[in-house]
């Protein structure tokens, strides 16, 4: 493998990591992590919102807090890498769990221009194409979603830096 190919593979990996960090930041309500995905001069065009990264993170936090749990899934991803510019299309799936239902689901694509500045990739501009929104009825066979955030529940998820995913190493519960 030549050096040019290796640099391209590293760049593609780092670009993909920006997208994953964005999703994690929103789902864990980690404003600092979500904000770290954008250059200061970026514009986020996201359905009902158009503005700066700081304003977007504030808006996204308010939207996300309407739900008891959220998941931003990053799916198909293509990247046209042109030096220190990358033009990407990434499919997403968003789900938001409501206390009473219906739950919410959204599908679409992030169309991004990322730039590498000072050796770091971040979003320079984003257009989010929301291609589908759906109300999802509450499934009676699943446990109530709010139990995921209580100390008594088997799922010890939290929407902050106390979540087990931030622990190094993650500490499992002890067998009974």
- Domain range spanning residue 48? 3-139
Q: Which region holds residue 69: left if phi is over 0, alpha if psi is between -120 and 50, else beta? A: beta
Domain presence at residue 126: yes
Mean pLDDT of 135-139: 85
> Do the beta carbons of residue 107 and residue 129 sit within 8 Å?
no
Summarised one tens digit per residue, pLDDT across range 21-45 is 999 999 999 999 999 999 999 999 9
The total domain count for the chain is 1
Q: For residue 34, what are the CA distances in angstroms to 6, 88, 131?
A: 28, 18, 22
Residue 141 binned pLDDT confidence (cut-offs 50, 70, 90):
very low
Residue 133 maps to a domain: yes
- Let me know if residue 157 belongs to a domain: no
Give the model's confidence band at 174: pLDDT under 50 very low, under 70 low, under 90 confident, else very high: confident
pLDDT above 70 covers what percent of the chain? 89
Q: Specify if 162 maps to a domain.
A: no
Average pLDDT in the chain: 90
Most confident among 41-45, 139-143, 151-155 (mean pLDDT): 41-45
Q: What is the pLDDT of residue 155?
A: 63
CATH assignment at residue 122: 3.10.450.50
């Amino acid at each position: 493998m030549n050096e040019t190919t290796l640099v391209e593979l590293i760049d593609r990996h780092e670009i993909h990591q920006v997208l994953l960090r964005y999703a994690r930041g929103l789902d864990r309500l980690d404003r600092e992590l979500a904000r770290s995905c954008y250059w200061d001069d970026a514009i986020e065009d996201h359905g009902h919102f158009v503005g700066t990264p700081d304003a977007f993170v504030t808006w996204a936090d308010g939207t996300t807090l309407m739900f008891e749990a959220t998941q931003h899934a990053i799916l198909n991803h293509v990247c046209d890498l042109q030096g220190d510019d990358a033009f990407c299309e990434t499919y997403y799936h968003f789900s938001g769990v409501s206390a009473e239902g219906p739950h919410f689901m959204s599908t679409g694509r992030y169309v991004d221009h990322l730039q590498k500045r000072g050796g770091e990739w971040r979003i320079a501009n984003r257009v989010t194409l929301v291609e589908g929104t759906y109300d999802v009825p509450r499934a009676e066979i699943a446990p109530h979603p709010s139990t995921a955030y209580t100390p008594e529940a088997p799922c010890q998820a939290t929407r902050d830096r106390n979540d087990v995913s931030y622990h190094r190493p993650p500490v499992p519960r002890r067998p009974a």
